[in-house]
Every structure is written in C-alpha cells, then in structure tokens.
C-alpha cells in the first residue's frame, strides 16, 4: 500500500478528486466533512488528507509516498527540492503565478532593472532598505539574487499581502495572483519581468519514502494511468 497526500479542503481538494476520478481512481472522504480521513477505490493506496502547506514537508520526510500540492509550495518549503521529490505530472489546475508587484503610480518602474535602481534610491532617501512583503521568502530571495537586485528587504506577510503597501508596512509585494483583480484594487501592477514562478497543482513523488517492490509496482501501474489520462 502506498500513501497519497491530498489537500484536505477547498477547491484544490475537489479538483484533485475530480482529476483522479477522470483517470479511474476514485478518491473519497470517509465519515463527516470535518474528519480528515479518506478512501481510494481502484488501487492499493491509502488516502491522507493534509493541508496543502504541509504536503511538501511530509513528502520530504517520507511520511507519504505521493502528494498533491502547488509547485510553488514545494519550491518555497524544500531546499534543493528536486533532490527530495520528483515531479510525477503537472495536473493542469490550481494555476497561480508568483509575481513581483509595485504601486501603479511608480511610472518609472517596469522591470527588475528599474527596481534595482529604485531600491538604491529608496535606501538613500529613507535610510532603510525597500521592503517587499511576501510569504515566499526563499523564492523571492533566490530570484532577486539570481538577477542581482540589491538593497531590498523581505518582510513577512502571511495574508492580505496586497494591503501592506497601503498600510506603509512595505513598498511592494511578491505574491500569488491568479486574476490580478486584487492587485488592481490595491493600485498595484506586475513588473514586466517579475514572474518568479508559474505554479500549478502537481503530483509529486517522495524520494525519501521507503519504496518496497510491491509499492513500486503499485506506483508504476498508477503512474501509467495518471499520465495517460
């Protein structure tokens, strides 16, 4: 039996159930809506319902063999993610882009080149580094290091990130956006080259979990069905 971790609520859960169902694997919750237990028909698999944010860690620890979560969460939460999990397949839903956004009124800023120049100007004027509110600390830091942007500072924001600029707790944000409406409502715009990661729901395989011969066979048979679905 292999253990499959799936988001425990919301649209991500519904879409995941639907996606597996289309491929002949029926996932269902057992008991009441509040009980985080599940059931799989049609394969020797145990369903483990978890918060999407916990799935990367559970995969890395090998507590689950397979897991469905956003590719952004895996990249943010796991160092050297590709050595710890393997992408089985992208699932084609849960699309969300992690982007850098600045106030629309910054008409002098369209690109990372501009951002870097403005960060220097801001630090000289204000005596502190330009603050970027985000919960994606690692992804933002690595992206900006790769592009040689300096003189910024990350401030943690676990929710309502778009509002931080209005509240003067940050100068700009890095956040997930699927439609851009919240950005517009908060008078923000996306940098032209500010796409940090295009995330979607992805089925990952743990490299740390123990894989017996029968578990590997179960996985191989399942993977064929899922990829060809």
Partner 1 sequence: MITAEDRARAADLLAAFVAAGATRVETELLQPAGTLLDLYGEDIRARAFTTQDPLAGEAMLRPDFTVPVVQAHMSGGADPARYCYMGEVFRRQEIDEGRPREYLQVGYEVFDRADPAATDAEVFDLLHRALAPWDPIPALGDLGLLIAAVDGLTTSDKRRAALRRHIWRPVRFRRLMERFAGQTTTPAKRAALLARLATEDAAALIDAAGPAVGLRDGEEIAARLAALAEDVTTPPLSRTEAEVIDALLGMETPLSHALSPIRDLAVDLPGLDVAADRLEARAEALDRRGHAPHTLPFAPARGRSAMEYYDGFTFTLSARGRPDLPALATGGRYDALTAVLGQGRSIPAVGGVIRPGLLGGLT
Binding site for partner 1 (CB under 8 A): 79-80, 103-108, 110-111, 113, 116-118, 120-122, 125-126, 129-130, 137-138, 141-142, 144-154, 165-166, 168, 170-172, 186-188, 192
Q: Which is nearer to partner 1, 56 or 94 (CB)?
A: 56
- 174's CB contacts (< 8 A; 6+ apart) are 98, 99, 100, 101, 132, 133, 134, 136, 139, 140, 196
Q: Which is nearer to partner 1, 79 or 179 (CB)?
A: 79
Bin 56: left if φ > 0, else alpha if -120 < ψ < 50, else beta: alpha
CB of 53 to partner 1, least distance (A): 20
CB of 104 to partner 1, least distance (A): 4
CB of 165 to partner 1, least distance (A): 5
For residues 70 and 160, give the distance between their C-alpha atoms in angstroms, rounded to a whole number: 19
Q: Which is nearer to partner 1, 41 or 192 (CB)?
A: 192
Please tell me what DSSP assigns to residue 94: S
CB of 138 to partner 1, least distance (A): 8
Please tell me what DSSP assigns to residue 129: P
C-alpha R_g of the chain: 20
For residues 186 and 170, give the distance between their C-alpha atoms in angstroms, rounded to a whole number: 13
Q: Which is nearer to partner 1, 117 or 223 (CB)?
A: 117
CB of 193 to partner 1, least distance (A): 10
CA 131, 132, 138, 140: dihedral to nearest 10 degrees? -130
Q: Which is nearer to partner 1, 192 or 217 (CB)?
A: 192
Q: Which is nearer to partner 1, 125 or 158 (CB)?
A: 125
Residues forming beta bridges with residue 66, ordered by sequence position: 4, 205
CB of 169 to partner 1, least distance (A): 10
């Amino acid at each position: 039996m292999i253990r499959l971790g799936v988001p425990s609520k919301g649209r991500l859960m519904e879409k995941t159930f639907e996606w597996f169902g289309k491929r002949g694997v029926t996932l269902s919750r057992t008991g009441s809506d509040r009980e985080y237990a599940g059931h799989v028909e049609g394969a020797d698999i145990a369903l483990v319902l978890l918060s999407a944010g916990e799935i990367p860690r559970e995969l890395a620890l090998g507590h689950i063999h397979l897991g469905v979560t956003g590719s952004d969460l895996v990249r943010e939460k796991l160092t050297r993610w590709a050595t710890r999990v393997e992408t089985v397949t992208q699932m084609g839903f849960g699309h969300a882009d992690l982007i850098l956004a600045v106030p629309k009124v910054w008409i002098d800023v369209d690109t990372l080149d501009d951002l870097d120049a403005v960060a220097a100007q801001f630090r000289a004027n204000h005596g502190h580094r330009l603050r970027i509110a985000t919960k994606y600390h690692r992804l933002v830091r690595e992206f900006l290091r790769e592009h040689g942007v300096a003189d910024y500072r990350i401030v943690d924001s676990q929710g309502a990130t778009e509002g931080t600029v209005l509240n003067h707790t940050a100068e700009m944000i890095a956040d997930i956006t699927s439609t851009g409406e919240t950005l517009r409502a908060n008078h923000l715009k996306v940098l032209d080259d500010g796409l940090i990661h295009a995330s979607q729901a992805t089925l990952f395989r743990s490299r740390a979990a123990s894989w017996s011969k029968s578990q590997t066979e179960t996985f191989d048979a399942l993977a064929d069905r899922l990829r060809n679905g």
